[in-house]
Amino acid sequence: MAGGKLSARQKMINLMYLVFIAMMAMNMSKEVLSAFGLMDAKFANANEMATVTNENLLGGLKSKAEEKPNEFALAATKAELISKVSEDFYKYLETLKREAIVEKGKYEIDPKTGMLPFEAMDKTDILDELWFTGDRLTVEGQEFIKRIQDYKQSVKEIIGDDVKYIRAIETLENRFDITDVTNNEGKSIPWLDYHFKGFPAIASYTKITAMQNDVKATETNMYNVFLGNTLDEAVSLKNYEAIVIADKSAFFAGEKFQGKVVLGKYANVTPTKLVVGGQEINLTNAIDSTGAARLDFTVGNVGEHEIEGQFTFLEDGKELPIAIKGNYVVVPRPNSATISADKMNVVYRGVVNPMTISFAGVPDNKVNANAPGLRKVGDGKYEMQPGAGSEVTISVTATLDDGSPVNDRKTYRIKDIPKPTGSLIGKSGVMKLPRRNVEIGTIDAKLEDFDFDLPIQVTSFSVKVPGQPTVNVVGTKLDAAAKAALGRARRGDAVQILNIQAKIVGNNTYRLKEVAPIIVELTD
C-alpha cells in the first residue's frame, strides 16, 4: 500500500483502515463511529500496559548496567535516550489529540463512562482546516510530518550504525512510513491526505492513538534488542486480524447490526480441557488446525441463550483457565402457514370475543396490544368487547432484543349479534302441534349458526288467536288469559306467538334484535 517494504503489522493496520474507509463510503453510521471509538479504547489500553512493560524493561536494563557495566552500560544509556525522545513524541501526539480534535470539536468526556462521545465525533473539517489548504499543507500539517521524521531520525541516531540493529531500524521505518500511497486506481496520494483528509474526527483520533501505540512498540522493541532479546514478534500486530464479534448470533430483518471489532489472533495451542455448558468436550474432534474449538450442540427453546464454558491450558506447569462466554438467539422454526379470509375479520358487539395476539420471535412479555374494549387475560390471550362504531383497529407493539420497537396493526369489522329465532319445544318457524303442547310449552329464543354459545332469556311475548284480541304475556309460558284464548281456537287455526322479547343472560346493556315469531297450526 505505501512505498517501500512494509511489515506485516503495518500492512494489517493499513488494511484495517481500508476496511473502515470502505464502511464509511457505504454509510457513516453511528455503529461505524462507535467501532472507531472501540478501536481507540483498545489502543489506549494497550498503550497503558506497554508503558508499564517498558518501565520494567528500562529498569531491568539499568540494573544490568550496574551489575555488568561493560556489557550493558552503553545499552542502558541508549535506552534512556530512546525513552526521552519517545516520551516527547508521545506527549506531542497526546496534545495534538486533545487540542486539535477534542477541544476544537468541543467534545466532552462522559463523566459516567470516562469516554469521549464516539458517535458524535463525525466532523471531518477539524484536521482538514488545521493541516490542509488546497493542494498544500499548512504550517501545522508540515509540523506534524516533521515531528514524525524527527522522531525516526532521533531513534536511528541513538541506535547508531551497529549491524545488529539493522532489523530494529527496518521495523522503525515500516512503523513510521509516511511515503506517498498508491490507491486502487494507481494514483499516488500524499500519506497525510490518504490517512487523514476527509476522515471523521474519531477516525483521526484513533489513528493518532495507533501511532502512539507504534511509539510504545518501538520502545519495547528497542529495549529488548538492547537486552539481547528478540521479542519483536511478540509486540508486533502482524499476526493479528480484525475480528467482528456480534452482540448476538441472530438478527431480525431490518434490525440494526450491533457488535464490535477487535484485534485478535488464533492461538494454535492445544488446550488440556474444554468444557461448554457443564459438559466436557472431546478435544480430538473439537480442535482444528488453527487452534479453534468447534461447538456442536442442540440449541434451546425460543429466546436468547448464553454459552458458558472454560478453556484450560498448561502454562509454566500449572493449569491456566480461560472463561468462555457468548450468546445466541433461537427463533421459531416455521411449521405452519398463515391463512386468513380477508372479509372475515369480524368481532361481535355484545359478546366477549377471544383473541390470540403475538409477534413472531418476540416473547410475550415484550408484546403490547391496544384497542378500545381489548384486555389481556393471559400469555398471548386477549378478550375484545367492542363498543360503538363499525370498525375497531388493534395496534401491536413489540420490543426486539436490541431495544428497538416494531409495530403492526389490524382492523376488524364490528357486527351486531344476529336476529334470534323464537322456538317452542325445540322447534322454530311454522309448525303443527296439538293444543296441549302449546299450553304447557316454553317459549325460547335461540341464535342459529352463531359461533358463540350465548344464554338468551325470553322476558315476554304475545299470543294471537284468529278472531280474538292479542294477549300479552310476561315470562316464558302461556298465562291463564293466553290459555283461555287458546281454548277458544278451532282445529287448523294458525296461532301466532309474536313480539317475543329476549335478553342476553348477564348482559342487560345490549339490546338484541326482535326475535322472529312462531306460527303454530293446531292439530286438534
Question: Are residues 280 and 378 located together in one domain of the fold?
Answer: no
Inside any domain, residue 335: no
What mean pLDDT is predicted for residues 485-500? 90
Inside any domain, residue 34: yes
What mean pLDDT is predicted for residues 293-298? 70
Question: Are residues 305 and 351 located together in one domain of the fold?
Answer: no
Question: Are residues 381 and 397 located together in one domain of the fold?
Answer: yes
Which among 486, 386, 477 is positioned nearest to 435, based on CA atoms?
Answer: 486
Question: Are residues 21 and 131 located together in one domain of the fold?
Answer: yes
Contact 259, 247 (CB under 8 A): yes
Cell of 458: 325470553
What mean pLDDT is predicted for residues 353-370? 84
Question: Are residues 283 and 323 located together in one domain of the fold?
Answer: yes
Instruction: Kindly tell me the sign of the dihedral angle through the C-alpha atoms of 53, 59, 63, 66.
Output: positive
In sequence order, the 6+-apart residues with CB closer than 8 A to the CB of 148 are 176, 178, 211
Inside any domain, residue 261: no
Inside any domain, residue 442: yes
Contact 371, 384 (CB under 8 A): yes
Q: What is the dihedral of CA 296, 299, 304, 306, to 10 degrees?
A: -40
Q: What is the pTM of this model?
A: 0.41
Inside any domain, residue 337: no
Q: How far is CA 176 from CA 93, 146, 227, 388, in A?
A: 14, 12, 23, 77
In sequence order, what DSSP letters do the residues of 155-185 get, joined into one string? HHHHH-S-GGGHHHHHHHHHHT--S-EE-TT
CA 40: distance to chain centroid?
23
Question: Are residues 375 and 474 located together in one domain of the fold?
Answer: no
Inside any domain, residue 256: no
Question: Are residues 234 and 366 located together in one domain of the fold?
Answer: no
In this prediction, residue 472 carries a pLDDT of 93
pLDDT one-digit tens code per residue, 296-343: 767 666 667 777 878 776 653 467 777 877 776 676 655 444 555 566
In sequence order, what DSSP letters do the residues of 356-384 get, joined into one string? E--BTTB-GGGEEEE-TTEEEEETTEEEE
Domain end (from 379, 397, 415): 415
- Is the model's pLDDT at 1 over the cut of 50? no
In sequence order, the 6+-apart residues with CB closer than 8 A to the CB of 352 are 383, 384, 385
- Is the model's pLDDT at 166 over the cut of 80? no
Question: Are residues 186 and 43 located together in one domain of the fold?
Answer: yes
Contact 357, 278 (CB under 8 A): no
What mean pLDDT is predicted for residues 205-212? 89
Question: Are residues 165 and 218 located together in one domain of the fold?
Answer: yes
In this prediction, residue 264 carries a pLDDT of 60
In sequence order, the 6+-apart residues with CB closer than 8 A to the CB of 104 are 126, 130
In this prediction, residue 18 carries a pLDDT of 60
Averaged pLDDT score across all residues of the chain: 80
Residue 507 burial by Cβ neighbours in a 10 Å radius (0-12, 13-18, 19+): middle
Counting the structural domains of the chain, the total is 4
Question: Are residues 296 and 169 located together in one domain of the fold?
Answer: no
Question: Are residues 464 and 382 located together in one domain of the fold?
Answer: no
Domain end (from 415, 440, 456): 415
Cell of 140: 501545522
Cell of 235: 509486540
What mean pLDDT is predicted for residues 22-48? 69
Residue 254 burial by Cβ neighbours in a 10 Å radius (0-12, 13-18, 19+): exposed
Which three-class secondary structure state does DSSP give residue 245? strand
Inside any domain, residue 500: yes
Inside any domain, residue 257: no
In sequence order, the 6+-apart residues with CB closer than 8 A to the CB of 26 are none
Domain end (from 415, 446, 476): 415
- Is the model's pLDDT at 4 over the cut of 60? no
Question: Are residues 125 and 171 located together in one domain of the fold?
Answer: yes
Which of 16-20, 79-83, 238-242, 336-340 is predicted most confidently? 79-83
What mean pLDDT is predicted for residues 20-28? 51
Cell of 169: 531500524
CATH number for the domain that contains residue 364 = 2.60.40.10
Name the least confident of 9-23, 128-142, 234-248, 427-441: 234-248
What mean pLDDT is predicted for residues 226-230? 67
Instruction: Kindly tell me the sign of the dihedral angle through the C-alpha atoms of 59, 62, 68, 70.
Output: positive
What is the domain extent for residue 506? 421-522
- Is the model's pLDDT at 106 over the cut of 60? yes
The CA distance from 121 to 181, in Å, is 26
